[in-house]
Structure 1
Amino acid sequence: MYRTLSLRFSGAVASLALNRAASRNAMSTELMQEMIACAGELAARDDIDVVIVTGAGKCFSAGADLKDPQRWSNDLVSLTQRRAVAELGLRMARAWEDLPQITIAAIEGYAIGGGLALAVALDWRVAARNAFVSLPEISLGIPLTWGTIPRLVNLVGPARAKRLTILCQRVAAPAALRMGLIDELCAPRKAHAAARALAARVLAMPRHAVRMSKEACNAYANRGAQATSFMAHDQLLLAAASAESRAARDAFLKRRPVATRARSRAQPGRRDSVRRRPGRAPR
């Protein structure tokens, strides 16, 4: 039924895998559209109480697919169409956040950018001890969107959310656990099994009370989220069209250093070239 996803069921638990292992489960336009459709399918399943989301292969997800022409090279289509594509990430994250079932991210390897954005839209995150997470969007000249910032602030507080977002820090799973970004650690290659064990604990609880409690928690946590997220797709379009963003994304794809301007307080007006290895967020 799905080209980019793998969905299977075991009793009252659904397991969904992002199934683009050759592309490190990068989130293409097609994958995000299918994720929205899958959320709709699962929301209607009264026999499913827990959904586990994982990634095929060695990682959860490398984030938005920078090679997707529908997303980044669509200047010839109308603004309405460009806005619709830019809004897919926000719609996907919201659809999964709004599911009545308990949702668990099972993270192996890494969850980068949009991969982490999806994970924080779920209820809980289980990660292998050797995994890491990062948000490199700003280093690519684009803001963090998809409604992710309110979710980060809810999880780790404003100051840490700013560090994660603005400094593009790569965070090892144990550190992510300490700051509240990850809920549980497990041995490598055991994330799905750990998520299954957590699912079993959920299934032991009265289902309607579980769903009502989730709904109440989300309603309180997200009471101001729309005010900061409704313009996310327009921010993405505006920033992605800038020369600095185009240059940063091109350097990332070609695996060459990215030149950025560093401002020196001691020598105002001077422009220096800072060389950084592309594809790896600053520590």
Structure 2
Amino acid sequence: MKYNNILTEENGGIRTITINRPNKLNALNRETIEELHEAFKAAQEDKDTKIIIVTGSGEKAFVAGADISEFADYDVSEGTKLAASGQNILFDYVENLSTPVIAAVNGFALGGGLELAMACHFRVASDNAKLGLPEVSLGVIPGYGGTQRLPQLVGKGRAMEMIMTAGMIDANQALSYGLVNHVTIQEELLPLCEKIASKILRNSTVAISGAIKAINANYKDGVNGFDIEIKEFGKCFGTADFEEGTTAFLQKRKADFPGE
């Protein structure tokens, strides 16, 4: 599929999705959100894709927020629909993918950009990255999951401060908060993400999918994460990956998982 605002590349089971609106600092407009949904969906449905990395083009920005010009004149109903639609087709969708998603945060990750990074399964940042949710400075609140995911990642107090001040934190502060897993220089950002991805590639995709579902369950209201873990654990025993993994362990060899 041809995209106007994103680029995709596949290499050895790793699908890299690059948001490519450098003249807008990769800001998210409706078309880009829809294209990202299609790109993530295509990666999820491709059996050859084992890991997804999402990043921004250039060296300045991962995603420097939403495209404010698109919704500046919205009313209450339109604003509500904007948040509901975006969460449904992109942010919640990414969080619940069974294929691991790594955010390679290469610069500004603000507003919807930070919300996209937080929807990914974990984040790696370049040392020039700046992260924040500045929405209250525009008279609005984060609407793509920011008020929910940020406290989960950094704690309630830090999330309250970041959102209320509309300020940015740098990469090292984000690392100390637990908002990102690693910080590296710009030139090593994608290589580091690929190195981590290569470690994930050694393992069972079926088991990883179950682990993602179980971990996410802990953050859903009305869902007992322990019950989901038990269910997903049990399901593993009926997979070819479990048979191969345990057999390889007993035979003292490296497992060759079929992904089934």
Asked whether the 8 Å contact 1:126–1:191 carries over to 2, the reply is yes
Conserved? CA contact 1:150–1:222, under 8 Å = no
2:8/2:18 contact within 8 Å kept: yes
> Structure 2 CA distance, aligned partners of 1:112 and 1:161?
14
- Cα shift readout 1:29-81 (whole Å, capped 9, x = no counterpart): 1111111222222221222111000001121011100122xx33356xx95x6
For the residues of structure 1 that align with 2:221 and 2:43, how far apart are their CA atoms?
24
Q: TM-score, normalised by structure 1?
A: 0.73
Q: What does residue 65 of structure 1 align with?
A: 67
If asked which structure has higher relative contact order (CA below 8 Å, sep 6+), I would say 1
Change (3 A) 1:170 1:224: farther
Aligned equivalent of 2:250: none
| Match in the other structure for 1:14 | 15
CA contact (8 A) 1:128 1:185 kept: yes
Q: Quick one: which amino acid aligns to residue 170 of structure 1? A: M
Contact 1:29 1:85 in 2 (8 A): no
**Unaligned 5+ residue runs, structure 2?**
224-260
SS at match of 2:8: strand
Residue 149 of structure 1 deviates from its aligned partner by 1.8
Question: 1:90 aligned to 2:87?
Answer: yes
Q: For the Cα contact (< 8 Å) 1:94–1:121, is it kept in 2?
A: yes
- Normalised to the residue count of structure 2, the TM-score between the two structures is 0.79
In structure 1, the partner of 2:157 is 159
Identical-pair percentage: 30
1:153-202 per-residue CA deviation (whole Å, 9 max, x = no partner) reads: 11111111111111112101001100101111111232111111110111
Contact 1:33/1:88 (<8 A) preserved: no
Residue equivalent to 2:117? 119
Between stretches 34-43 and 210-219, larger displacement belongs to 34-43
One-letter amino acid matched to 1:44? E
1:149-188 mapped onto 2 (5 Å cutoff): 149-188=147-186
Distance in 2 between the 1:224 and 1:62 partners?
A: 34
Contact between 1:17 and 1:55, CA under 8 Å: does it hold in 2? yes
User: In the alignment, what sits opposite 2:4?
Assistant: 3
In structure 2, C-alpha distance between the alignment counterparts of 1:82 and 1:156, rounded to whole Å: 27
Matches within 5 A, 1:1-283: 1-58=2-59, 59-68=61-70, 71-73=71-73, 79=77, 83-91=80-88, 92-223=90-221
Shift of 1:82: 6.0
Distance 1:107 1:118 in 2: 10
Counterpart secondary structure, 1:182? coil
1:270 paired residue number: none
- Structure having the higher helix fraction is 2
Partner letter of residue 207 of structure 1? Answer: T
Question: How far does the alpha carbon of each residue in 1:207-227 deviate from its partner, in whole angstroms, 9 at most, with x for none?
Answer: 2111111111011123369xx
Distance 2:200 2:220 in 1: 23
3-state SS in 2 of match to 1:3 = coil
Deviations 1:102-134 (A, max 9, x none): 100111121111100000000111001121111
Q: Which runs of 5+ in 1 are unaligned?
A: 226-283
CA distance in 2, matches of 1:27, 1:130: 20
The one-letter code sitting in structure 2 at the alignment partner of 1:198 is: I
In structure 2, relative to structure 1, the CA distance for the partners of 1:190 and 1:158 (3 Å cut) is: same
Matched-pair contact (CA < 8 Å) for 2:175–2:181: yes
3-state DSSP of counterpart to 1:138: helix
Structure-2 change in CA distance of 1:184 and 1:224 (3 Å): farther
Give the 3-state SS of the residue equivalent to 1:100 in structure 2: coil
After superposition, the Cα gap between the structure-2 partners of 1:86 and 1:221, relative to the gap in structure 1 and judged at 3 Å, is closer
Q: What SS does the corresponding residue of 1:193 show, helix, strand or coil?
A: helix
